Chains A and B, each alone.
Chain A
């Protein structure tokens, strides 16, 4: 493999986490597109941000987080700014705790996601309630259900992300040769 294709392959692989996040956010939209679907937005994007902020924070640039947040707000019908702010805050918050969390067993990491997603959910509920002047219980029920589904789905997101992470590590070491 020549140097150019090696570098371009490495460049593409570096984009994979961002593409994964954007893909999952768009998937929220596709799920919403299914006629008759009135399920709450599954907050899988939070799981992806949590994983990458823990293990390879540089792979999710701020502008990707902002863009994904905007897209998420449009597709879920949240007021603009809720997910954008939430994504950036989640990334920054997890980055501060990463050294403490990453040293733990998977179950602790999973539990950590549950706690952080719950806190993030409470913050989102408060912002949405303040902005839209809706009943707290109405918003809370929907979002907390979304948080629960995201927590259940976290191991799948973790496995996919770990697979991509390993691929990234291999391609970076191959490119460095």
Chain B
């Protein structure tokens, strides 16, 4: 049986001339934004930052029940593995106690060596703690939105990390919000160094969970399981921020498993390594 649908003969609420004018204005705005994005002159970025500023309070409200659900699910998973986790923590605690005594010895040795060399320590870095309110993560981009911006001291290019290690860097900043480019995003490039072999390379995002090392300065390849930290080559990040471990090596590429579970970040620290002086 063919079912026919009624078509409303409603006319548009504005006159056709105004409609055409509005259509042309929207099309012109879009083209301007797209050209700006292509030429990277900063206009599209500042428009995005302003709009995100307005959107962040809405996303903050929307993300609350989702975060509560996620937290509840996490609690259930944690409860199911509480015995194994307890055993693991006991073993880790034993190891940490041994390391603690070693660290105290090394600290006093380090202090006396610093005194001998008249070493002046660098100024401490300042940081801002912010909540992740939106995850713009899909197969096209890997970014998150946080509820801190220029008013809280966040600046473009600053390093973003949490207690486990590096997350990414600030891509654009609004008054009370900022967009963070995760290290797994295809546009992310970070100078890194392999801890034990000392190989310097660039960590490139590829939209998978495992970013890879590229443009290695040496023909040697890092070892499996080796820890990778940030290098100070780009002068944007301080050296030594833990990034991840070499997880696999395929076709001459080394893939890194980040220390931070990037799918579960709720709070982040935006650290100021005096990047303003470098990027100005």
Which of A's residues lie within 8 Å of B, judged by CB?
26, 29-30, 32-41, 54-59, 61-63, 65-66, 70-71, 74-82, 84-85, 88, 92, 98-99, 102-103, 105-106, 109, 127-128, 130-134, 138-139, 141-143, 145, 165, 169
A-B contact pairs, 12 of them (CB 8 A): A38-B138, A61-B12, A61-B14, A65-B26, A76-B140, A81-B30, A81-B44, A88-B26, A105-B2, A131-B37, A139-B140, A141-B139
A58-B12, A145-B139 given. 6 additional CB < 8 A pairs?
A54-B7, A55-B8, A56-B10, A78-B140, A80-B51, A92-B23
Q: Is the CB of A62 within 8 A of B22?
A: yes
Q: Is the CB of A88 within 8 A of B140?
A: no
Q: Does more than half of chain A's interface fall in helix, strand or loop, or is it mixed? A: helix
Q: Is the CB of A57 within 8 A of B12?
A: yes
Q: What B residues does A98 contact at CB under 8 A?
A: 7
B7, B26, B186: the one within 8 Å of A84 (CB): B26
Contact stretch, chosen from B62-70, B162-170, B234-242: B62-70
Size bin of chain B's contact surface: 35 or more
B225 within 8 A of A: no
Q: Is the CB of A81 within 8 A of B34?
A: yes
Q: Is the CB of B134 within 8 A of A29?
A: yes
- The CA-CA distance from A41 to B34 in the complex, in Å, is 20
Q: Is the CB of B52 within 8 A of A74?
A: yes
Q: What A residues does B38 contact at CB under 8 A?
A: 130-131, 133
Give B27's nearest chain A residue, CB to CB. Answer: A85
